[in-house]
Structure formats: C-alpha cells, structure tokens
Amino acid sequence: MGNSTWPDVTKLLYNMQQSLKTIFPNFSNELIATIEENGSLQDFKAGTILMRTGQYIKNTVLIIKGKIKIYREGEDGGEFLMYYLQPGQACAISMICTAKSEKSQIMAKVVEDVTVMMIPLQLMDKWMMEHRSWYEFVIETYRSRFEEVLEVVDNIAFRSMDERLEFYLKRHSDACGCSEVNLSHQEIATELNTSREVVSRLLKKMEQRGLVKLNRNQIELLK
Amino acid sequence: MGNSTWPDVTKLLYNMQQSLKTIFPNFSNELIATIEENGSLQDFKAGTILMRTGQYIKNTVLIIKGKIKIYREGEDGGEFLMYYLQPGQACAISMICTAKSEKSQIMAKVVEDVTVMMIPLQLMDKWMMEHRSWYEFVIETYRSRFEEVLEVVDNIAFRSMDERLEFYLKRHSDACGCSEVNLSHQEIATELNTSREVVSRLLKKMEQRGLVKLNRNQIELLK
DNA sequence: AACCTACAGTAACATTTATCACAGAAGATT
DNA sequence: AATCTTCTGTGATAAATGTTACTGTAGGTT
C-alpha cells in the first residue's frame, strides 16, 4: 500500500478513522480510537471460509467492506443460507460465542472480497461496560440477527419452495444492489437445501410468468 | 394467601429471596434484593397468551415456576412451536425488544400455570451496567435462545416430518419430565405446521416400530 | 474443427406430504 | 340408553418435492 513515509501513514490512519465513523456512525469517537488501537484489520478473498461449524471463536468480526454469507450446515454436508452480513454489521454468533468462548454453530463464507476488523474476545466483553455506543451496537446486533433467523424459520416453516426461491432471489439482489443474480442453479439449490432440477423447474415457471429472464449463470429479475 | 400479620409477610419475603436464589443461582445477593424491590410477581393460568405477535413489549419476563411455549405465528394462523421456557430462564425476545421497545416477533403461551417476575424495561437496561451477574445472565440468555432457534432451523431445513415428530415428542417429555405426552394429534400437527392425518399416520408407524404406545389424548414414549 | 466440461432443460418415476372422505371408538351430555 | 362431540384410523387421491436418466448447449481448451 504505497510507501511508508510518516505523512502517508498518518493520512491512512486518519482516513481509516473517518471511514469507520462513516460505516459505524453510532460509535463514539473514543470507541473508534480504541478499535483502531486494539483491533486488527484483515482482508479476505471471496470464497474464503471465515468460520467453520464447531470451531472455537477467538474474535468478534466487524464488517468494513465486502459481503459474507452465514450458513447453517447439515450433517450430510448441506449448506443452508441464513443471512448476509454487510458493512456496518457484525457477526452476532461471534459475539455470543465469544462471551463464553464457545464453539461456532454456523459457517461464514466470504462472497465478495472483505475487509474486517477483528476484535479479541476479552475486549469485546470489556467494552460493554466502558463504551455505551458499543453496548448499544452489540444489543442491536443481537436483536437484528435474531429477527433475521426468525424470518428464516418463517420461510421454511410456512412457505413452499417457489415462494422461498423468490425470496432468495430478491434478497440476493438486495444484497448486491443489482437485478442480476450470477449463480448457477446448482449453487442456489444447495443454499435452499433442495435439488438443482427443482430450482430449474421453478425458475422456468417464473420465466413463463414474466418474473425473470434466464441466461447461463445468470438470472435477471424483471419485477 | 394466609393472613397478613407482620411475621408472615417477613417470612414470605425471606422465602421468596431464598427461592429466587435457588432458581437463579448465579444472581448476586444485591441483584436478587433489587429484583425483589422492583420486579412484580405475577401468576398466569395455563392457556394464557402472555405475549402476542406485533404487541409492544414493556417488561422482561423471568420464569419462576411453570412452563411457557414460544411460537412463531404464520400469516394463515399457524402456530409453529419454537421452544420452551422453564424456571430459571427468561424470554430472550422480551429482552431484545425491550432494549428498543420494539414489537414482539413471537407469541408466548402458558402451558403449565406459571409465576413470572416482570422487570420494567428501563431497569433491564440499567442493571446491565450495575450488576455483573445480570449482564452475564442476559448474554447467556441470548446465546442459548439463539442456539435453540438454530436447532429449529436445522430441524425444518434438513429433516423430514417423521424425524421432526420424534424430536417434538422427545422435547415435550424432557420439558414435562415424564414419558407421557397428553396432547391430541391435532394439537401436535398445529405446532409442527402439518395436518392431523400426517401425525396420526406417522405415530402409527412409530407404534409399529415399538417406539410409542398410543392412547386417546396420550402418547406414551417407550424408548 | 474436435473435444471437454459445466450448465441447463426436461421427461419419467419415486417419495413425501397434503387433502378429502368417511367410519369407528372413547368420552361427555341428556 | 340414546345422543353428541371429539379424537383417531385409514383409504383414495392430489400436489409438491426428490431422484434418475438423458439431451442439448455454451464456452473454454487442445
């Protein structure tokens, strides 16, 4: 990242604080400075598994840039998509498990190159008492992730596969901010825990209804 | 509840503190005294709906005695069972929503006469900073309820109805501490979001496999 | 061009779950 | 006892989903 003369480093640091403030607008300035000081910034390429089921968790993960998908793994190797994590969010599981250094119940995969801030577990807990804005962020993270999982329960408990597929596509396009889903039918099937043929059939029906246009490795959402 | 001469009231108070200490062994003595002072003890009969979907939440609920079932409601009126709350536990949703005074995402029904301690929302938040043992209890509540919901996702995402039914019966008998399930097939079907006929058929198969004995309004678990 | 591989489409069939229809059994009520 | 209601069992059928097998096509590789 460029040369390392003092002015540049200072500038980078300044920019970092500015960007943290932008991504986490509710964090106090002291908290941001503390995060700067104690957290470690790391990059991961798309495809990286950030956390595996059964692994012990040593850090709380704040998303600065990029996207992560959170999966629940089945015994047979299924990878059921639960939700996305985006900049400004944090992994609730990593917070919850961190507090007791428990095993992860989920799998986290990078789907768009990410920059994350890793916070060591002792600090995560310590800051709860010291920084009101951290406390509120953690509680809000619990709340919103819990709600998201409840929505997942809704989908699989009350809805049929065609509705779940529509929801899946909509959420994908919301997450990437575009109307093209660049995934193969097989990938979608895996994340919905169904088979490729079922996804192909349902997509074809959606195309006939005028909801999508199907291309190779791409689904365009029309409505 | 008996007469109201001073000695009796003192004794009751003493007993209450003792029993709180037994049910919530990790609470500090100061915390228990604070709860005594600020919380309000209430009884509800089996069948009472303690909390409805969409309702605003004004209290955090600690279970002292009895049992509560937590449901996710479908748009069509389905009542999908998520988990049980038992003495020593608290409603995670009431904590999470309380913090922001949000709407409830779930429905809570008393299934065995309960005594609960209602904690006003401002205190729930305030105590987080003042009582370490309260803080730890709240975090542990989030963690264990989150895990429980993840297990629900597992069940509906990866398992078929016969496995889910077995799981349902096992959990029921764990909760009531006996091997008889005193529910009609219709009630079970509703909580699994399936139909009565399916439950009847699957139970019959389980009986043929020697897993249960079927009586009217009762299922005995044999293994 | 010839070949290879991953992806997509689809028919046929199996399995699971849902729905409809009806009958009988257990309890409750009169 | 006669009646009524609720619960349970079960066959027939429908609908949704899963599986197998095969085909074609797009794009990359040789």
Give me the DSSP letters along B97-145.
Answer: HHHHT-B-SSEEEEEEEEEEEEEEHHHHHHHHHH-HHHHHHHHHHHHHH
Of the pLDDT bands very low, low, confident and very high (cuts 50, 70, 90), residue B222 is: very high
Contact A167/A155 with Cβ under 8 angstroms? Answer: yes
What's phi and psi for A84, nearest 5 deg?
Answer: -100, 150
Q: Would the Cβ of A166 be found within 7 angstroms of any atom in strand D?
A: no
Query: Under a CB-based contact definition with an 8 Å cutoff, are residues B112 and B84 in contact?
Result: no
Element (H, E) at A83: strand A79-85
Cβ contacts of A137 on chain B, cutoff 8 Å: none
The residue written with tokens 């999508």 in the block is: A212
| Dihedral of the alpha carbons of A127, A128, A129, A132, in degrees to the nearest 10 | 100
A135 CB within 8 Å of a chain B CB:
yes
End-to-end CA distance of chain B: 42
Average pLDDT score over residue span B17-44: 93
pLDDT at residue B98, as a whole number: 62
Closest-CA distance, B50 to chain A, in angstroms, reads: 19
Torsion angle (degrees, nearest 10) of CA B84, B90, B94, B96: -110
- What residue ranges of chain A are covered by domains with CATH 2.60.120.10? 39-158
Mutation to test the A interface, candidates B26, B145, B156, B161, most A Cβ within 10 Å: B156
B/e letters for B99-122, b = 16+ CB within 10 Å, e = fewer, are beeeebbbbbbbbeebebbebebe
> Under CATH, domain B39-158 is a member of which superfamily?
Jelly Rolls (2.60.120.10)
Give the pLDDT of residue A3.
47
Q: CA B58 from chain center: how many Å?
A: 18
Give the model's pLDDT for residue A121: 86
Name residues of chain A where pLDDT drops below 50.
1-4
CATH topology for the A161-221 domain: Arc Repressor Mutant, subunit A (1.10.10)
B23-57 burial, b for 16+ CB within 10 Å, e for fewer? bbeebeeebbebbeeebeeeebeeeeebbeeeeeb
Q: Read off the tokens for A143.
A: 């709340």
Nearest-CA distance from A8 to chain B in Å?
40
> What are B138-196's pLDDT values in tens digits?
999 998 999 999 999 999 999 999 999 999 999 999 999 999 999 999 999 999 999 99
Q: Report the DSSP beta bridge partners of residue A69.
A: A84, A109
Reduced to 3 states (helix: H, G, I; strand: E, B; else coil), residue A34 is helix
Covered bases, chain D (protein CB within 7 Å): 6-12, 16-21, 26-27
| CB atoms closer than 10 angstroms to residue A65 | 14
* CA nearest neighbour of A117 among A56, A15, A54, A44: A44
CB B94 within 8 A of CB B57: yes
Position B3 scores a pLDDT of 47
At residue A134, the 3 state secondary structure works out as helix
Residue A164's contacts (CB-CB under 8 Å, 6 or more residues apart) are A155, A156, A192
Residues 6+ away with beta carbon under 8 Å from A70: A81, A82, A83, A84, A85, A91, A93, A106, A107, A108
CA A216 → C1' D25, Å?
A: 10
Q: Give the side-chain half-sphere CA count within 13 A for A3.
A: 3
Angle, vertex CA A152, rays to CA A44 and CA B153, nearest 5: 90
pLDDT of B9 strictly over 80: no
For chain A, residues classed under CATH 1.10.10.10 are 161-221
The counts of H helices and E strands in chain A are 8, 8
User: Please, where are the H alpha helices in chain B?
Assistant: 6-23, 29-38, 92-100, 121-130, 132-158, 161-176, 185-192, 196-208
Mean of the pLDDT values across residues B18-23?
89
pLDDT of A216 reads 93
Angle at A184 between CA A180 and CA A188, to 5 degrees: 90
A-chain CB neighbours of B153 within 8 Å are 72, 80, 82, 149, 152-153, 156
**How far apart are the C-alpha atoms of B83 and B72, rounded to whole Å?**
10
State pTM to two decimals.
0.90
